[in-house]
Structure 1
Amino acid sequence: MTMKKTVIQSAVAGVLALAMTHGVAQTQQSQGGKEREKCYGIAKAGQNDCGTSSHTCAGKAKKDNSPDDWKYVAKGTCEKVGGKTR
């Protein structure tokens, strides 16, 4: 395989991966036709929805109710359950 072909295949794979993750994020933000929002400070250990400055992925929260970790909740309910929308 030539170097040019390898670079092109890598670029295409990167674009596809980015498109797939964007689709997942959009699905999580409006699930079941209801708007959702990020709610910080309510995620239990290992149950956060995405990365923060201290880790890179969902499910990596180390302690309950960390102010940096968040979960998606129905829009307008975050503060009712004790969280913050930032």
Structure 2
Amino acid sequence: MKTSLMLSSALAAVIGCASVGNAIAGPSAEEMKSMEKCYGVAKAGQNDCAANGHACAGQAAKDMDKSEWKAVKKGTCEKMHGSLMAPKP
């Protein structure tokens, strides 16, 4: 009984990690064709890719950081008070 419970728990953990990984992976290349990178609109933990010395999506440390970007539908970035241009280093 203990062995089957441990195996079930391990399987649930693996499935959970896989689904979380897909959620923070960001938009696919196909989805990006109808989207644009919008800097300064991502909330903490909701950025779409690397910036500020971290490796990838979901690692923004603060809300609305000008160096972090999020993919948004084309034509909506400036309405959200974001920028289509990355800040100068």
Answer yes or no: same fold by TM over 0.5. yes
Tell me, yes or no, if the aligned pair for 1:45 and 1:64 is still in contact at 8 Å. yes
Normalised TM-score (structure 1): 0.63
Shift in Å, 1:25: 4.1
Choose from 5, 25, 29 the match for 2:32: 29
Task: Find the aligned partners of 1:54 and 1:76 in 2 and give their Cα distance.
Answer: 28
Identity among equivalent positions (%) equals: 51
* Runs of 4 or more consecutive aligned structure 1 residues displaced over 2 Å after TM superposition: none
Q: Equivalent residue of 2:60, what SS?
A: coil
Task: Find the aligned partners of 1:39 and 1:48 in 2 and give their Cα distance.
Answer: 10
Higher-strand-fraction structure = 1
Task: Find the aligned partners of 2:52 and 2:63 in 1 and give their Cα distance.
Answer: 16
- Structure 1: which 5+ runs fail to align? 1-23
Normalised TM-score (structure 2): 0.61
Alignment of 1:13-52 (within 5 A): 25-30=28-33, 35-52=34-51
Q: How many pairs are equivalent?
A: 59
CA root-mean-square deviation: 1.4
Q: Equivalent residue of 1:38, what SS?
A: strand
